[in-house]
A and B are shown apart, each in its own frame.
Chain A
């Protein structure tokens, strides 16, 4: 059963895990987790929401040079993939020195809102609620082009590979597929004890990922209509029998010796213990904001409903994962990329509006992530796997209306080009993560635990207001 969490409960859970995983390399450091949990029992509510764009977003057509000189370089490098200059939505970037004398713009679909009362990504930027993070990517240490060419510093493993770079973004700079712990889950470890339902600390509307898996925190999956209850467990007269539900519950949720059986029943048990409480709270929560009917819109609507139910559920800190696929556009990029951004713009605009409705816009931060950026030059009909990419952070606590980090020279053979216009990242994923983790309430002393690898970088990219 999910019970009210207490510090004692938390320690018990952590201790049990420590025993279960005793000899493993990720054996829990009980003392530091316990100490951290004691330091960080917040009284307010905050949520982080990751939108993962699966496949590798073609960042070059998201934030685009809009001034004449920059656009010419961009257009020559991209060829048939280039967006028309007069379709771009120009951005002002008051504090970004790298853009002095230059201008960038969003692609047109980022102006789309779902409802008349909502604004899209461009509107959020203009309202100071969206920040652009320029050229973010996986790095182990700050890396110059000279160091990259000489391979004189360590690089993340399996660059350009989908599954490995997804994992690297979601976990740590040394991670590849098979890694079991992500930074969203590690944040969850710190804050689970502050939630009444620890199971609802890290929630995914988009399937399994390493992002939300901590040392002790397990992600909870939700479906298109919230949680799914196992009907038979409460049906004692199933197929005309007696006391059947209890027997089914025993079979499906009891502890097992066989390893795979054991782990399957653990999932059954989490579903059995949590679904009813979650759905009851969701059904009692009020949310008027309308969302687009897209997959992403549905996922974000469910996240907003859970946030709306935060008081009923007794939650103080939550990390969510949603996703949108279809970005691996080796082909059909010109026709296919815009609709994805229309979907994102509408869904994120609706989500932001929902947080305003709920009165917690400054307590919810949404951010984008993706496997990697893509090549600047064309393969004829699309772009191939790349590295650094531009990303977006949205919310009332974001110092929006600006571009953060050195905006690259968008040109083949430019100073950041590691081949085909792929970008050597100027800002690392761990800096991006640490900036948001700090806002979320992770103490500086725990930052390296939550965002492994951040110790090699300055930990604040400056795009979040103080918590």
Chain B
């Protein structure tokens, strides 16, 4: 596997870009100059909101206008080419709050990392990267709740930056980077794992890198369905594979700056480089298993170099046919819908496997041509006919329950949340007790919810449908969510910065308040931005009636009307299910 990948994009649309920007302001369809029959996908307002609910942390009025001007393909391509420099890295932000090395006596909390997540979700123009990064963080999972990681916002920031840096790169590079990151090393305990002198290696990482990060438990067809043998699914690996692979992940421990120092003391943690939480693990030959490593299709000879052994192992996993449908399905679930059709999964898996995606009409084509290309994969997820079809919206089983983080983000972006603190810190910390989901704080490596979760005793279950996000929806969490919103919407939320008063974040909703004297216009505005106009007539009527019961002449009527419209919409199933 080459470590450097070609990043050439075939961009059929590139030459037409400036023309398009000038010409299509009115939203009419424009033909590409490379394929007379192919057209850019220019959405209407609801279509733009719907797309942004899948591809970003939520629609804003400005994003809608831009999408309508450029069309979906150009927007995606611009996003693919947008650098991260505009908001800086998570590490930049965490360091600005808590220096690294951490000065003696400094109080360390995870808050700067959480703040950085929300800050970028709100302020970063590279929204597609943000959303894909969040999805990846739910596949290759580490957690700030871990006792080994909870003292270092820097190590989590560094890990999240890896995912963001590679969100439009290649999944193979993500595998390499996460497997050698100290946060993963601590979380899944490969750090310090020894295979010398006949020791039995820790099997933790070997198991989870297969079960969760690459191939899963059962052999898959490209369309995500299980291969069957004698009526039963086929296991991808057994205990012998795990024990063989476990030997690969031995001899890796803390790195150090400057010249590599693979000494016994360094391996055990002394001396400790002050930057070791944020630099890759290094290899310590003396602790690596000298045995042959036999697993899946690999047979690494006894005595082989350990650095190369890890590359070979990750290549083996990466090239397993399961990876394309296994990762492809999960990206669809995180962004678009819980139950994609087999054909949709297959199209995305093909983009992953071939490293290339071309839209149905041939208007847009992207990807390096190398297996694991995430530009091709992400474009396939978002531009698929099933994701874009208006017909999908009215299918009863389509869509996904919005996870709590995305609900809050959608509110904040659409209704102009402002952060009072210096430098706009967006001081949302651990919100487990309010929202039952805090970014980068999953309860285990199995994420907040499982891709195959079927909520028991539901209509979904009776239809054999999965609904991952329902794993954190129960009588307590749904009630707490509503009660939290009832406070957050009018009063704001987020911790108070030093020298400030009240919650850091306020929902300005300037545009909505300007419409508040006209109940219909206000509800239409909220319905567009939060439900892409999929709000049912019944819900719309209920909200109109309730909002209209607040007299326009009453004190604070504009604010109250907006707050009520937002509260009723965000607790409505119309909003909660992203379609």
Contact = CB atoms under 8 A, between A and B. Distances in A.
Contact of A221 (B211, B456, B476, B561): B476
A216 B457 contact: yes
A230 interface: yes
Contacts of B152: none
A274 B462 CA distance: 24
A163 B396 contact: no
Contacts of B464: 24
A276 to B, nearest CB: 11
Interface in A323-337: 325-326, 328, 330-332, 336
A168 interface: no
B400 A260 contact: yes
Interface string A239-278: 1111110011011101011111111111110110011000
Contacts of A232: 482-483, 486, 567, 571
Interface string A375-406: 10111111011000000000000000000000
Contact of A239 (B235, B450, B471, B567): B567
Interface string B234-247: 01000100100000
Contacts of B16: none
A78 to B, nearest CB: 12
B475 A240 contact: no
A244 B546 CA distance: 6
Given A177-B450, A260-B399, A380-B193, A251 B476 contact: no
B577 interface: yes
A334 to B, nearest CB: 14
B560 A239 contact: yes
B456 A261 contact: no
Contacts, number: 238
Contacts of B571: 232, 248, 251-252
A208 B573 contact: no
B90 interface: no
B482 A180 contact: no
Interface stretch (A123-131, A154-162, A360-368, A427-435): A154-162
A134 interface: no
Interface in A252-310: 252, 254, 256-268, 270-271, 274-275
Tell me what chain A mostly uses at the interface: helix, strand, loop, or mixed: loop
A220 interface: yes
B479 A271 contact: yes
Contact of B202 (A218, A265, A326, A379): A379
Interface in B500-544: 538-539, 542-543
A271 B202 contact: no
Interface of B: 147-148, 188-189, 192-194, 199-204, 207, 211, 217, 235, 239, 242, 338, 396-397, 399-401, 443-444, 446, 450, 452-467, 470-480, 482-483, 486, 490, 538-539, 542-543, 545-547, 549-550, 554, 556-557, 560-561, 563-564, 567-568, 571-574, 576-577, 579
Given A20-B459, A261-B576, A331-B202, 9 more contacts: A160-B239, A228-B480, A243-B546, A251-B572, A256-B573, A259-B397, A260-B573, A262-B573, A420-B200
21 contacts: A24-B461, A178-B454, A180-B456, A180-B457, A221-B477, A222-B476, A230-B478, A231-B483, A239-B567, A241-B560, A242-B549, A252-B571, A254-B538, A258-B577, A259-B460, A260-B338, A264-B470, A264-B573, A271-B478, A328-B204, A336-B147
